[in-house]
Amino acid sequence: MKNAIEIKNLNKKYPEFELKIDKLNIPSGTVIGLIGENGAGKTTLIKLLLNIIKEDKGNIKIFGKDLKDNELEIKEEIGVVLDNTFFPEILNPKNINSIMKDIYKKWDSKLFYKYLKEFGIKDNQILKTMSKGMRKKVEIATALSHHPKLLILDEATSGLDPIVRNEVLDLFLNFIEDEEHTIILSTHITSDLEHIADHIVFIDKGNIVLEKQRDEIVDNYAVLKCDISEFDKIDKADIISFKKNKYNYEILVDDIQKCKKKYKNCVVDKITLEDLMLIMIKGEK
């Protein structure tokens, strides 16, 4: 399988924060879920991939080409939805269509208006009068309407009601069906990633602390819950991270079946991505 993105020895340093990624390969035809708390480095990584900011050192290849040397060619193939809208509020979708026709060689007006119709958006409605969810729909329609190979999405489903969110997630799944398209989705709505992500990249304090297939996390990782008297009996080799509560411990483990057999006096529950983040960020090792 080809890689859509290859990152090596990437570093971006600020006075109070540093992003360091030694190696990260993102295969074509996959949905990559970026998780981590605010300030962990997700948005910094996205800005580096879009060449909005420059790395201090390291190398980024997209579609097998160096980003530094092929920025314009690469950006033609990337659709973007950022957390904050990048369109002036005085525009309407008809204006956006006119602007995008001059920016992207493969801009597809017919497709853009098809998405607007599906999303129930009038082409003459000014962005300023739209809800946050409606603006997101316009941005998603725009990102998809120049036939990109790669979608980079930062909180793309925030502000959408559950029904529309499911429709949008299905749209993203259709986008990657041919295994030539790739999605990077950074979101705090971790249930979305449990629905569509192939791979999870967990960033904390500027470092990748976990990089696994979603199925491996969902099928194998678990929360082991035990009282304080049982905690000392837990094999330290089984503990990835743990959180002490008032009356019990919550322990992150990576082999649910083994732990169910090994610790019969404890409760072993399947984990959600939200639980995983909480125990790894707030817990101890």
Ranges 106-110, 155-159, 242-246: which has the least confidence: 155-159
Answer yes or no: do 47 and 71 share one domain: yes
Look at the chain and report how many structural domains it folds into. 2
Answer yes or no: do 262 and 202 share one domain: no
Domain span including residue 199 = 3-214
Answer yes or no: do 144 and 73 share one domain: yes
So what's the pLDDT on residue 247? 84
Answer yes or no: do 33 and 84 share one domain: yes
Answer yes or no: do 229 and 208 share one domain: no
Q: pLDDT for 142-196, tens place per residue? A: 999 999 999 999 988 887 888 888 888 988 998 988 878 999 999 988 989 988 9
Answer yes or no: do 59 and 124 share one domain: yes
Residue with tokens 């939200």: 274
Answer yes or no: do 38 and 154 share one domain: yes
pTM: predicted TM-score of the whole model, two decimal places: 0.91
Give the residue ranges of DSSP H helices in 26-92: 42-49, 71-75
Answer yes or no: do 163 and 116 share one domain: yes
Answer yes or no: do 164 and 27 share one domain: yes
Answer yes or no: do 56 and 143 share one domain: yes
So what's the pLDDT on residue 160? 83
So what's the pLDDT on residue 195? 87
Q: Answer yes or no: is pLDDT of 228 > 90.
A: no
133: left (phi over 0), alpha (psi -120 to 50) or beta: alpha
Q: Which of 214, 245, 270 is the last residue of a domain?
A: 214
Answer yes or no: do 97 and 152 share one domain: yes
Q: Answer yes or no: is pLDDT of 1 > 70.
A: no
High-pLDDT (> 70) share of the chain, %: 99
